Amino acid sequence: MATTALVQVRIDSELKEQATKLYEGLGIDLSTAVRMFLKRSVMVNGVPFSMTLPRGDSNAEKALMAMQKISEAAESYGISDMSLEEINAEIAAVRSERQAAK
């Protein structure tokens, strides 16, 4: 069995509190997280992987990504400068065509 050694690190108390909460969310304590970091560092011979939790509202991030895709598509079809009235008129026209086809 390997002997153990004490490692002490001075960090900002707010950082410690934030990190402790983060790792508790991942189901581990701060000491375990530090051991994991050190073991993985040795394994990869450098700075290891990252374990992250999503920040903020991931639904909001998805909505922003969707809006960006819509904007890019509108640009590619040359319709990015349409007014709301023009968009509504196009929608109404398509709906009328569908009703007529029934």
**Per-residue model confidence as pLDDT tens for the chain (102 residues):** 779 999 999 999 999 999 999 999 999 999 999 999 899 899 988 878 766 766 666 777 788 888 888 888 888 888 888 888 888 898 999 999 999 988
**pTM of the full structure:** 0.46
* CA quadruple 63, 64, 66, 68: dihedral, nearest 10: 170
Element holding 89 (H helix, E strand) = helix 84-101
Q: What is the DSSP letter of 80?
A: T
What pLDDT shows up at residue 93?
93
Residues 6+ apart with CB under 8 A from 89: none
Residue 5 to residue 83: CA distance in whole angstroms: 68
